[in-house]
Amino acid sequence: MRKLRVKTKRDSGLYLLFLKLRIMDKLFKQCIGIDISKDKFTACVSKHYISDRQNVSDVEEFENNKTGFNQFVRWSRKNLSKEIPALYLMEATGVYYESLAYHLHKLKEKIIVVLPNKAKYYARSLNIKTKNDIVDAKVLATMGCRQFFKCFWEAPKPIYMQLRTLTRFYSDLQKQKTVFNNHIESLKHSGEQVISVIKAYEKLSKEIEKSIEACLSDIEKLIKSDSELCGKIEKIGTIKGVGFITIVTIIAETKGFKLTTSRKQLASYAGLDVVERQSGIVSGKTKISKKGNSRIRAALYFPAVAASVHNKELREDYLRIVEKNPKYKKIGVTALQRKLLLLIYTLWKNGETFKT
């Protein structure tokens, strides 16, 4: 007859230790970091366990096209565990990330898109000074595992993408019109005038003017097709000195403020966040970073100049800032640019009109 083994306290302790080790070695989170550029992108898988152990894969490179996307999906499925869902984290690098983000979105994957500054500061917190495609992919993969994200990326409404194309075209046409008009003015006052060249420039300038009018008409028609968007733009338009194109440009460039969750983040995205250079006896000039969306800053420049003269409340702010920095009046205009941007953001989020 077989003897039954009596469990001792030592056996129970070993069993509990075994369970604890097994739980601690369980996968907690996994993320694919993607560093993307115009033609290619690099990817890295990071797995984070309950024990705080981290496993990082080799970095793989893919073409930034449909063939590369399919190869990437097959590679990622081989390297990911099926225990828990994975995150796909990438930077909002111009427009280059969009095709891959849309591709993954169609596959119903969980996507996180972060602003470049956020990834940069995270790398700095890890004391990583090297910057290349391989290192960036590893940093993004680690960031996806270590940090908590409130929401996932969702494909923006098509109307925002269409508006971005139209407003950028409008802006480029305005720049070209200015260039041609300057050429015409210069040629008319030159010593030896060539009438045929002047007429050619004037013809081109008229064609650009027609294109500007047609583009503006297309923008207006597109906005009127969405009653909710049209209503919000009308409310934001109650801010003195802020014109229709400025409002539409900001909404288009931020995709309806889709990527921003705070005022500070929005200012950083536009490159209107303040950079201070002061430590101990070292003191430098305080300025904005300018590491952001230049089209937003350009759209806000003339409204800020107008507000510094005609908007009573903002003019008071402008004069107060200029009084402290009389040599740098542009600082006052920049401060108003930031204030107008945040005001537009607040009115958009709350669906309110501007009240003096």
**Cα dihedral 59, 65, 70, 71 sign:** negative
Query: Predicted confidence band at 288 (pLDDT cuts at 50, 70, 90)?
Result: low
Burial class (CB in 10 A: 0-12, 13-18, 19+), 204: middle
Domain count, the chain: 3
Same domain, 207 and 310: no
Same domain, 27 and 142: yes
- pLDDT over 50 at 281, yes or no: no
Question: Whole-prediction pTM value?
Answer: 0.78
Which residues are registered as beta bridge partners of 114? 91
Average confidence (pLDDT) over 152-180:
93
Alpha-carbon distance of 181 to 212, in angstroms, equals 15
> Across the chain, what does the average pLDDT equal?
86
**Rounded CA gap, 270 and 286, in Å?**
17
- What pLDDT sits at residue 155? 87
Domain boundary among 146, 171, 194: 146
296 contacts: CB under 8 Å, gap ≥ 6:
249, 250, 253, 254, 269, 270, 271, 272, 341
| Residues 187, 189, 192, 195, Cα dihedral to 10° | 50
Residue 52: inside a domain: yes
Would the pLDDT of 256 be above 80? Answer: yes
The count of residues in the chain is 356
Would you state the pLDDT for residue 259?
Answer: 74
CA angle 301, 298, 255 (to 5 degrees): 120
Whether residues 29 and 135 share a domain: the answer is yes
- Residue 244 sits in the same domain as residue 342: yes
CA-to-CA separations, 72 to 45, 97, 347, in angstroms, rounded = 12, 14, 41
pLDDT value at residue 274: 62
Question: Structural domain of residue 40, as residue ranges?
Answer: 23-146
Residue 261 has a pLDDT of 78
Which tokens sit at 96?
A: 């280059």
| Distance between CA atoms of residues 144 and 213, nearest Å | 45
303 has a pLDDT exceeding 60: yes
349 pLDDT more than 70: yes
pLDDT value of position 99: 94
Q: What whole-number percentage of the chain has pLDDT above 90?
A: 52
In one letter, which amino acid is 89? Answer: L
Report residue 302 as tokens: 């003339």
Looking at the structure, do residues 216 and 286 belong to the same domain, yes or no?
no
> Is 57 domain-assigned?
yes
Answer yes or no: do 305 and 335 share one domain.
yes
61-106 confidence digits (pLDDT tens)? 999 999 999 999 999 999 999 888 999 999 988 889 999 999 999 9
Please indicate, yes or no, whether residues 180 and 268 belong to a single structural domain of this protein.
no
- 245 and 142 inside one domain: no
pLDDT of 258 reads 83
- Backbone dihedral angles phi then psi of residue 299, each to the nearest 5 degrees: -65, -30
Query: Given this model, what pLDDT does residue 45 score?
Result: 95
Most confident of 109-123, 234-248, 279-293: 234-248
Weakest-pLDDT range from 199-208, 234-243, 294-303, 327-336: 327-336
pLDDT tens digits along 36-68:
999 999 999 999 988 888 889 999 999 999 999
pLDDT tens by residue, 179-189: 999 999 999 88
pLDDT of residue 279: 46
Q: Tell me what the mean pLDDT of segment 221-244 comes to.
A: 93
Least confident segment among 72-86, 152-166, 323-337: 323-337
Indicate the pLDDT class of residue 129, thresholds 50, 70 and 90: confident
In sequence order, the β-bridge partners of residue 35 are 42
281 with 311, same domain? yes
Domain assignment present for residue 281? The answer is: yes
Q: How confident is the model at residue 287 (pLDDT cuts 50, 70, 90)?
A: low
- Please state the separation of Cα 217 from the chain's center in Å: 28
User: Over 80: is that where the pLDDT of 299 sits?
Assistant: yes
Instruction: Using pLDDT thresholds of 50, 70 and 90, give the confidence band for residue 20.
Output: low
- Res. 271: pLDDT tops 90: no
Q: Which of left, alpha, beta for 60 (phi over 0: left; psi -120 to 50: alpha)?
A: beta
Phi and psi, residue 106, nearest 5° = -65, -30
**Structure confidence at residue 267 (pLDDT):** 87
Give the C-alpha separation, 260 to 156, whole Å. Answer: 13
Distance, CA of 119 to CA of 122 (rounded, Å):
5
pLDDT of residue 282: 44
Mean pLDDT of 206-235: 96
What is the rounded end-to-end Cα distance, in angstroms, of the chain? 95
